[in-house]
Amino acid sequence: MTEATTTQLGLRPQLFRFVLTGGLSAIVDYGLLVVLMAFGLDHTPAKVLSFIAGTTTAYLINRRWTFNSDGSRRKFAAVMALYALTFVLQVGIFTPLYPWLVSLGLGAEFMPKMNWAQLFGFVVAQGVATAVNFVVQRSVIFKA
- pLDDT for 101 equals 87
Report the percent of the chain where pLDDT is more than 70: 89
Which H or E run includes 123? helix 116-136
Domain range list for the chain: 11-141
DSSP state of 142: S
Say whether pLDDT at 95 is over 70: yes
The answer to whether 54 and 26 are in contact (CB under 8 A) is yes
Q: What value does the CA radius of gyration of the chain take, rounded to a whole number of Å?
A: 16
> What are 46-49's contacts with CB under 8 Å, separation 24+?
47/90, 47/91, 47/94, 47/95, 47/125, 48/87, 48/91
- 60-92: pLDDT as tens digits: 898 889 998 877 888 888 988 998 998 899 889
HSE, side-chain direction, 13 A CA sphere, residue 53: 17
